[in-house]
Amino acid sequence: MPVGLIRRQSYELAIDYGQFYLFAATSSDLELTDIVDMAIEHGRFASDGSNFVVLSPISYDPKMKLTVELWSAPPPNDRDNWAVAFESEIAVGENENISISSAAGLDYLNFYAPSGRYNVDVVGSIDSARAPSVRSTGCWRVRLWP
């Protein structure tokens, strides 16, 4: 494991409507639909500070790969290697959990993170080498650090 990496978990997540969610708080002043609308306006993602909506260029992916990492310090920067990249902040609530789901509503995944504020780096790539008749697949990574 690289120096500074505390935890890494890999998931497969079915996404629909080209979006997936990270929920780090049990309540929010905004409805999920409001954050989705903000993400569509922004063009890639939106957050209320604790809950994220990430838009993918792929509208449907039954087995999107997602890796979530918790670091003790800023991780090495490799954002140039990814097609999509953005950085923001997220506050993890007292439940010490980030729930991961999508509009497909098939998966509710959990990632443990101690409560507190984190920088968050989200990067993604799309497999565009596949034939047009085959559904594309995406690969995303979320990194958190204090």
Of the listed ranges 45-49, 91-95, 130-134, the one predicted with least confidence: 130-134
Q: From the DSSP assignment, how many helices (H) and strands (E) are in the chain? A: 1, 10
Task: For residues 126 and 57, give the distance between their C-alpha atoms in angstroms, rounded to a whole number.
Answer: 8
Mean pLDDT of all residues in 120-141: 70
pLDDT of residue 95: 87
> In terms of DSSP bridges, do strands 97-102 and 61-71 run parallel, antiparallel, or are they unpaired?
unpaired
pTM, two decimal places: 0.86
CATH of segment(s) 5-145: 2.60.34.30
DSSP annotation string for 23-70: E-SS--SS-HHHHHHHHHHHTSEEESSSEEEEE-S-S-EEEEEEEEEE
Q: Is 132 a residue whose pLDDT tops 60?
A: no
